[in-house]
Chain A
């Protein structure tokens, strides 16, 4: 089954404790992205990757890091989480090219206290 898998689904952590949210896709998609979803703001792109070892900042990259060492995986790293990073996070993948459909993971609800 074609899917994007994120882990964990829920995470509560304390300020400053490094964490990683994993994302994996099995569709051989070139493009992968991370979004955060906040009420009234829709989805805002954090980082994206056009292929292995090619990543770039999205609209709200501050406080986040990513890596793309393999085509299928695109982890999101919070080196020193802060309460303003409490949010719902989505990983998405799609084929290269205009008009292609994005496939989303189930989401990770992160709370930073």
Chain B
């Protein structure tokens, strides 16, 4: 069975500071990993994903995440927070095996606040 744990339901940073949102996963099969962002009153949109290949993945809006198999982690980072980054962020995992239905399993989410 697969699961996702996001450490910290709320994270607050100053504008210009490093953003670090933590995600750990559990999977008995090779995982595909995703980060989604949800702005107020909107649906979720994909920030970045890891499937295969390079373990450091770059996404939109300056975000990146690193897949660390030994730590079963996929933490999201951004060097310098902007006010527009305030949103809720969801980590998700899916099975890498093709064939059949590959369910997306979401973490509980982390709400990021950015203050001046």
Interface residues of A in 53-68 (CB under 8 A from B): 56, 58
Point out the residue from B41, B44, B97 that lies within 8 Å of A90, measured CB to CB: B44
Q: Main SS of chain B's interface residues?
A: loop
Tell me the count of chain B residues lying within 8 A, CB to CB, of chain A.
Answer: 27
| Contact indicator per residue, chain A 81-103, by CB within 8 Å of chain B (1) or not (0) | 00000000010100001111110
A31 to chain B minimum Cβ distance, whole angstroms, is 7
A-contacting 9-mer, from B12-20, B71-79, B105-113: B105-113
Contact residues of B between 16 and 48, Cβ < 8 Å to A: 32, 34, 36, 41-46
Q: Tell me how many residues of A have a C-beta within 8 Å of chain B.
A: 26
A-side residues, CB < 8 A to B, are 4, 31, 33, 35, 40-45, 48, 50, 56, 58, 90, 92, 97-102, 104-107
